[in-house]
Amino acid sequence: MKKDWWVPLTGVGFILFAIVSVVLSGEPPSVDDSAKEIVEHYVDNKDTIMISVFTGAFAVVLLVYFASYLRKVLRAAEGRADA
């Protein structure tokens, strides 16, 4: 049995983690807000923003892994499995 059945699921994982990252980050402060309000927003939401950043970084890792898998599959379908 092939052990690569889960590799295409990294594309789905990328979508899920990217959505979670965007939802966690929330709405940033407006440009019209004062500097104090902007700083307070980031200080108050520091933990949530950090979790959002790490979730987004993990999503990017999954995207790179999925893209490399997709490249391999498309090259094999083209008949060029040499690279």
Percent of the chain at pLDDT > 90 equals 67
Structural domain includes residue 3: no
Do 56 and 18 meet the contact criterion of CB atoms below 8 Å apart? yes
**Residue 7 is encoded by which pair of tokens?**
């590799």
pLDDT, one tens digit per residue, over 32-54 is 999 999 999 999 999 999 999 99
Which of 6, 1, 14, 12 minimizes the C-alpha distance to 64?
14
Q: Which domain holds residue 52?
A: 9-78
Structural domain includes residue 34: yes
Q: Which amino acid is at 66?
A: F
**Total count of domains within the chain:** 1
If one counts every other C-beta atom within 10 angstroms of the C-beta of residue 81, the result is 9
Structural domain includes residue 50: yes
- Helix, strand, or coil (residue 58): helix
Structural domain includes residue 63: yes
pLDDT, one tens digit per residue, over 51-64 is 999 999 999 999 99
pLDDT at 38: 92
